[in-house]
Structure 1
Amino acid sequence: MKHLTILVPDAQTSLNTFACIIGAYDIFTRANQHWVGQGKDPVFTVCLAGVSENAVIQQDIMSIRPEFRLSQVAGTNLILIPAISLDFERPEGGNIELTGWIREQYNKGAEVASMCSGGLMLASTGLLDGKSCSIHWNAVDKLKNLFPRVLVKTERLITDAEGIYTNGGGYSFLNLVLYLVEKYYNRETAIYCSKIYQIEIDRQNQSAFTIFTGQKAHGDEVIRKAQAFIEDHFREKISVQDLSTRFAVGRRNFDRRFIKATGNTPVEYVQRVKVESAKKSLESTRKTISEVMYEVGYADVKAFREVFRRITGMSPLEYKNKYNKEGADLAAMS
Structure 2
Amino acid sequence: MKHVSILVPYDSVLAAIFDPRYILTAVNQFLIDAGKDPAFDVKLVGMAPQIQLSGGAFSVNTDSLCADVGKTDLVIIPALSGDMKTSIERNKDLVPWIVDQYNKGAEVTSLCLGAFLLAETGLLDGKECSTHWLFANDFREMFPNVILTDGSIITETGHLYSSGGASSYWNLLLHIVEKYVGREMAIRASKFFAIEIDRKSQSPFIMFNGQKKHEDEPIKKAQEFIEQNLTERISIEDLATRFAIGRRHFIRRFKKATNNTPAEYIQRVKIEAAKKHLENTRKNINEVMYDVGYTDVKAFRTVFKKITGLSPIDYKHRYNRDSAA
- Alignment TM-score, normalising by the size of structure 1: 0.95
Matches within 5 A, 1:228-243: 228-243=224-239
State the one-letter code of the partner of 1:169.
Answer: G
Q: Per the alignment, do residues 264 and 86 of structure 1 end up closer, same or farther by CA in structure 2, a change over 3 Å counting?
A: farther
Residue 108 (structure 2) pairs with residue 139 (structure 1): no
Moved over 4 A (4+): none
5+ residue gaps, structure 1, are: 330-334
Q: What is the CA-CA distance between 1:86 and the residue it aligns to?
A: 4.7
State the one-letter code of the partner of 1:116.
Answer: C
CA distance in 2, matches of 1:139, 1:195: 30
Q: What is the CA-CA distance between 1:85 and the residue it aligns to?
A: 2.1
**Equivalence for 1:299:** 295
Residue 89 of structure 2 is aligned with which of 92, 109, 129?
A: 92
- Alignment TM-score, normalising by the size of structure 2: 0.97
- 8 Å CA contact 2:45–2:63 kept in 1: the answer is yes
SS in 2 for 1:166: strand
**Equivalence for 1:6:** 6
CA distance in 2, matches of 1:314, 1:288: 16
State the one-letter code of the partner of 2:11.
Answer: Q
CA distance in 2, matches of 1:60, 1:199: 31
Residue 312 of structure 1 is aligned with which of 301, 305, 308?
A: 308
CA distance in 2, matches of 1:139, 1:63: 26
Q: Deviations over 1:219-269 (max 9, x none)?
A: 111111110111001211111111111111111110000000011110110
Residue 70 (structure 2) pairs with residue 74 (structure 1): yes
State the one-letter code of the partner of 1:300.
Answer: D
RMSD of aligned Cα (Å)? 1.2
Residue 209 of structure 1 is aligned with which of 190, 194, 205?
A: 205
Percent of counterpart pairs with the same letter? 51
CA distance in 2, matches of 1:199, 1:293: 33
- 8 Å CA contact 1:57–1:65 kept in 2: the answer is no
State the one-letter code of the partner of 1:269.
Answer: Y
State the one-letter code of the partner of 1:306.
Answer: T
**Equivalence for 2:164:** 168
Residue 149 (structure 2) pairs with residue 150 (structure 1): no
Residue 30 of structure 2 is aligned with which of 30, 34, 37?
A: 34
State the one-letter code of the partner of 2:89.
Answer: E
CA distance in 1, matches of 2:147, 2:280: 35
Q: What is the CA-CA distance between 1:304 and the residue it aligns to?
A: 0.1
- 8 Å CA contact 1:29–1:46 kept in 2: the answer is yes
Q: Deviations over 1:182-232 (max 9, x none)?
A: 111111111111111111111000111000010111111111111011100
SS in 1 for 2:28: helix
**How many residues get paired?**
324
State the one-letter code of the partner of 1:32.
Answer: N
